[in-house]
Amino acid sequence: EDKVVQSPLSLVVHEGDTVTLNCSYEVTNFRSLLWYKQEKKAPTFLFMLTSSGIEKKSGRLSSILDKKELSSILNITATQTGDSAIYLCAVEAYNNNDMRFGAGTRLTVKP
Partner 1 sequence: DGGITQSPKYLFRKEGQNVTLSCEQNLNHDAMYWYRQDPGQGLRLIYYSQIVNDFQKGDIAEGYSVSREKKESFPLTVTSAQKNPTAFYLCASSIGHRGETQYFGPGTRLLVL
Q: Which is nearer to partner 1, 64 or 88 (CB)?
A: 88
Cα torsion angle, 14, 89, 2, 50, sign: negative
- CA atoms within 13 A of residue 89's CA, in its CB half-sphere: 30
Q: Which is nearer to partner 1, 58 or 68 (CB)?
A: 58
Decide: is 1 part of the binding site for partner 1 (CB under 8 A).
no
Backbone angles phi, psi at 77, to 5 degrees: -100, 160
C-alpha to C-alpha distance for 97 and 9, rounded to whole angstroms: 26
Contact string (CB under 8 A) for partner 1, positions 11-50, x = contact = -----------------------x-x-xxxxxxxx--x--
Residues lying near partner 1 in the complex (CB under 8 A) are found at 34, 36, 38-45, 48, 85-86, 88, 90, 96-101, 103-104, 106
